[in-house]
Copies of this chain bind each other. A is one copy, B any other.
């Protein structure tokens, strides 16, 4: 679905990808290193953008999530690690949805 407002159509699929990149940039830019999310920046991002989808309510959750994202274990999250995790999240959501459909049959 694309909205024709303005000179260039904005399609929701494209807008969704662009938004996911934008929030990485916004939160990663809070400190000097604009290309990586620190643990604190990741915590803010999850709370403000993924609450309800990712549970980080308990203090130790952020360490588990950080460990899951930080594949090269450098204590921060780069764009590749971030996007690969969102990719896994999307696949998990799709597979979970298929499971529910199978139960309904």
Contact = CB atoms under 8 A, between A and B. Distances in A.
Interface of A: 1-2, 8-21, 23-25, 35, 45, 48-54, 79-80, 83-84, 86-91, 93-95, 97-98
Copies of this chain present: 2
A63 to B, nearest CB: 20
The prevalent SS among residues of A at the interface is helix
A78 to B, nearest CB: 9
A94 to B, nearest CB: 5
A8 B50 CA distance: 12
B83 A91 contact: yes
B9 A49 contact: no
Contact of A17 (B14, B20, B21): B20
